Amino acid sequence: MQTITWLRRFKKNKHGVSTVITVVLSLVIVVVIVANIVLWSYTMNQYDLERKQESLSFTVTSHSEWFFVQSEYQINLGSRTAGSYLDTRTDDGSFETFREGNPRRLDINGTFIIDLTTFQFAHIQGVEIVLKFRASDLGEAWVLKAYNWTANSYSNNEFNVTSFTPTTTTGWDYYRVSIGDGWQDYVRSSDGKMFVQFHDTIADSAQTTVRIDFLGVRVKVTNFSFKNSGAVTSHVVSMWVINSTVHARYAVSFYINSGTNASFTSVTIRLPDGQYMLKAVTERGNIFVYS
Ligand SMILES: [Ca+2]
Ligand SMILES: [Ca+2]
């Protein structure tokens, strides 16, 4: 009889214990869920807050400054009749004058130094040469070349324009050259030295006078200057280059601390000629536009 009573009590107690366990477990689960919701909501608020606090602006440059002839041009054919090499350093209307000799030829060359300390060889994407000149007659084409350090001779093989026929005897002509692939042949990697040559093409009857207002070289580089006026460090993870024909995305990794400016050079990002828009996308998903 005693045994039966004990068994009943035990069953009753067992039922009670499992009820308690169920309640406790349920409570634990509820607490865990609520805690997670609170934590998630806090994290999301924090994320949104940081996202709203992000504020970037930026500009871009696609070229270095101009580099000019170091000293007086060497004259191989013809002569110098007025002005000096200093006149060819600024596009300002003051010029240096050269004249064809007998035979009617002109051939000069000058030494230019690219500043490779500021514009690292590995960051350069190409070279540009610009000549602003006036020829006294329009009877022949003129040629810009540069010394090819690999071939050990003057060449314009990789130039986009290999000769230029002047269009005016009273105004100025701009003879613009761009060297993309192969530019490395024309800039000495050890010191940035370039030799640029300018010459006529035929010994015709006219004794041509040539005025040079400007002759300069510069390198193509893509350099971004960021300004972080936000309250948080920004991490730019991609850049978009957009115009009517280009819509390119480049993966990058630029960190800009709050309240600071920072500049970054990209070898891979190619900026198109003319108008374009740039977008910087941050890790937080913000998009900042430059146009
Ligand atoms: Ca000539
Ligand atoms: Ca000038």
pLDDT for 209-235, tens place per residue? 999 999 999 999 999 999 999 999 999
DSSP for residue 267: S
Residue 192 burial (CB < 10 Å; 0-12/13-18/19+)? buried
> What is the overall mean pLDDT for the chain?
93
Instruction: Report how far ligand 1's centroid is from the alpha carbon of 136 (Å).
Output: 11
Q: What percent of the chain has pLDDT over 90?
A: 82
Q: Which amino acid is at 37?
A: I
Of the ligands numbered here, which is closest to the C-alpha atom of 133? 2
Q: Which ligand is nearest to the CA of 78?
A: 1
47 alpha carbon to ligand 2 midpoint, in Å?
56
CA 137 to centroid of ligand 1, rounded, Å? 10
| Per-residue model confidence (pLDDT) at position 11 | 64
Residue 161 has pLDDT above 80, yes or no: yes
What mean pLDDT comes out for the span 127-139? 97
Q: What pLDDT, in 10s, does the model give residues 88-126?
A: 999 999 999 999 999 999 999 999 999 999 999 999 999
Of the bound ligands, which one is closest to the alpha carbon of residue 103? 1
Q: For the chain, list the strands marked E by DSSP.
A: 56-63, 74-77, 79-82, 96-99, 107-113, 126-135, 142-148, 153-155, 173-179, 193-200, 209-228, 234-242, 247-256, 261-266, 277-282, 287-290
Q: What are the Cα distances from residue 61, in Å, to 18, 53, 222, 240, 263?
A: 74, 27, 6, 15, 11
Residue 85 vs residue 12, higher pLDDT:
85
pLDDT digits (tens, 9 = 90+) for 15-64: 777 888 888 899 999 989 888 888 888 887 888 888 999 999 999 999 99
Question: What spacing in Å lies between the alpha carbon of 186 and ligand 2's midpoint?
Answer: 24
pLDDT of 9 over the 70 cut: no
* C-alpha of residue 95 to centroid of ligand 1, in Å: 20
Q: How far is the CA of 92 from the centre of ligand 1 (A)?
A: 26
Report pLDDT for 20.
Answer: 85
DSSP-assigned beta bridge partners for residue 1: none
